[in-house]
A and B are shown apart, each in its own frame.
Chain A
């Protein structure tokens, strides 16, 4: 049968329903009459002929129904009927409809929004050519490696098509977009080719094969190109990076994957590696670079890693003094590297929390529906008696729920669109590729699948009960209005309540842990005082860079700058160091102490991080001096002194006073005497515990890249502009950035804080929903048992005994729920332990608090209707029937 003609017929039937009905009626009637005519012609009396004809025909109505069933479009028509009926039913109980819609809309909306975010940030393939063949290459223990190492990896391995190195660069930039500071990426010449990023204009870098060649070429992103004035011709435009002129040879396509990638430092400009003289592309011992690689087609990541490890083993044998024994290359899919493991697990945890909330909502709604289907038993019984088939009733119930879910999902979808829009514009969230998040086909598909599942889940339980219809009983009790709900139904309802409590427990415990871990993180002793601290990262080499740096000039510039800042109003203390706390930069040199003077020649991953600081540094940042003295102006580099932190002191001279001991540092290339011991600071990040640090006077081998710290009397951001202006007015140096320490810390925890708020909101919502669910079920039960309670009271039962009876009966189920929840929470805590910064965060007190909170609210939810039940007047309840 051709689909087209059937579709046309279906349309005709639906559109001209009345006409086809009269047509059918006439046809059937004519047929019966003709049959009767034949019989009369055979000599039968008229009345008997008619009766006999009808009998032979087999019932006119039945034939008509058979034709209708066969007609095209019957299914659609019935569906429409059911939908209209369902909507009428919903209109009849607006309270139920409103609650149901709200529950579905919130549950589905939040989950869909979260899914869209996860999809954009993690699931969607990178917008690069064949992204599954791309990998990020790093190494243990440093993550960074040297260029000769990578070149040897590429030469020695057989599984890579190409490998490219890159490293961040923060030069001063000057172009037609004005002067400023840029995030740049120094890349090997095959970088763009390896990633497969196309250019909108111009061409890729010149491939000379020698990474120390520079050619003064630069490629800019489309965003920066537009800031420079845009246009479709390169016109030999140039840009100045650190006062050196670069010709722009290419412009990346708009929204090329690089722009938004935190993992690459969101660069706006790319230059070949040889262009920054501070990086030494030829030295094997350095660790400046990270790598990306394109695997040969069909090669799995594991095979590539194996290949790389074997290659490195040969290298370590050939150059033992450059690679520590623990040195090993690592490799991971580029998409994982870009989204970041931390972000991934945080997002998946949040999505799981959303899903759980949705389940709680479903359980809650099912409970409402169960109660409703109990109330509607008499309606169903009546309809069964009138000839409705059970399957038809089931279908109708499914349609009713589906219309509820469809309406709720539409609302939820609108909510999700708003949420995703807000999230993608959010400035607080620093998620890679978040701005790509929007409601697309996959979000719609996800929402539709979730909605379908909800509709089926909602229908199964109530329907399975209404299938077992006991006609006589239901009809009899129908008019009375208060029947006792069947045992199975009540058990199902209680089971759902227990499940809700269990899931709510998990969410409440998880959110408690999340909140406490972020609070611990933000309030842990940092080892310094972050409040009222402003810092400015500068380059003392300044515009007129000479190849040889004069230490005296550098020191003089720094001193001059600090003197100028000290007199600013609102500044209490000024100091400088070559890196900031929570900075993440590493300066490690060969190191040994007088205890093991022979360890010096070995480069070791356990060497302390070296900081060069000015005399008042410890006082300015608020780092505690535990023993000895701080640096002073007399430590001008001639006397070689050093200060150690507690971690280093305990590592080298456990249990001893470090003052007077001697250390050797590759930074100084000399031995120095320890004159002081200071407290530990979080030098890398908030969640990394302090490591051994060595402090040397800035005067003793000055660094040109210095961070100036200002302790201010009031809000440090107020001084931000003043400091910038002052620094910019000095022609001898360039400014990288100015930021306040509280801002830096807020940025560092933004993602976790976001997760914390989301999860905390979920915890509260879950708690509320579970309490509401418990309350609703018990209130309903009490309304069903009014008569029983009335009899008990009339027979002399105490009111307190009634309350106790109800509490005892419900407490069993709540206990089951709490028990399941406890198990789930412990398991979740174990699975999510990486999410909590502090080992102590996934702690028992939080678990106990969650248990108490849930138990109290659940018991309160039971006690309120229970108390109401105990106050019933038996004379009223018993007379009601």
Chain B
């Protein structure tokens, strides 16, 4: 499972994060857990990749953050998608679908 980490395609991390956050809000650990959950444990994003990505996406204006209380009452930084983030999610989903379809097609051909 761990070595799948290296195979996480360049650029898919952003897509996964945007998808994982969806319309709700998560703190860093929550995003990580959510990705694990929605990929049925295929991807486990390490904090060393996750946090830089979150900060970068926030700087890009796709995410916005605020401080709130976690489920067990710890102050944590939560992330939420912005309008630009939603747009970006749409774009990246489309790109990914195209690629996935093309690869699948390529593999099926004889």
- Taking beta carbons and an 8 Å cutoff, which residues of A are in contact with B? 1-2, 5-6, 9, 23-24, 26-28, 30-31, 33-35, 37, 57-59, 62-63, 66-67, 69-72
Contacts and interface: CB of A to CB of B under 8 A. Distances in A.
B29 A66 contact: no
- Looking at chain A's contact residues, the main secondary structure is helix
Given A27-B28, A66-B51, A67-B51, A9 B59 contact: yes
Contact of A58 (B27, B28, B29, B47): B47
B44 to A, nearest CB: 10
Interface of B: 27-29, 46-49, 51-53, 55-56, 58-61, 70, 72, 74-77, 84
B39 to A, nearest CB: 18
A58 B48 contact: yes
B75 A31 contact: no
A551 B52 CA distance: 102
17 contacts: A1-B56, A1-B59, A2-B61, A5-B61, A9-B59, A9-B60, A30-B76, A31-B28, A31-B47, A34-B27, A34-B72, A57-B47, A58-B46, A59-B48, A63-B48, A67-B52, A70-B55
B48 A31 contact: no
Contact of A6 (B48, B52, B60): B60
B20 to A, nearest CB: 16
Given A31-B29, A66-B51, A71 B74 contact: no
A28 B51 CA distance: 9
Contact of B75 (A30, A63, A72): A30
Contacts of A35: 29
Contacts of B75: 26, 30
B67 to A, nearest CB: 8
A5 B59 contact: yes
A37 B72 CA distance: 8
Given A2-B60, A5-B61, A31 B76 contact: yes
User: What are the 8 closest A-B residue pairs judged by CB atoms, nearest first?
Assistant: A9-B59, A70-B52, A5-B61, A1-B60, A27-B77, A30-B76, A66-B52, A67-B52
Given A6-B60, A35-B29, A62-B48, A30 B55 contact: no
Contacts of A62: 48
Nearest to B58: A9
Nearest to B73: A37
Nearest to A4: B61
B76 A34 contact: yes
Query: Which interface residue of A2, A35, A62, A70 has the most chain B CB atoms within 10 A?
Result: A70
Given A30-B75, A34-B70, A71-B55, A63 B47 contact: yes
A5 B77 contact: no
Contacts of B84: 2
A832 B63 CA distance: 68
Contacts of B77: 23, 26-27, 30
A64 to B, nearest CB: 8
Contacts of A2: 60-61, 84
A308 B10 CA distance: 67
Contact of A30 (B27, B46, B56): B27
B59 A71 contact: yes
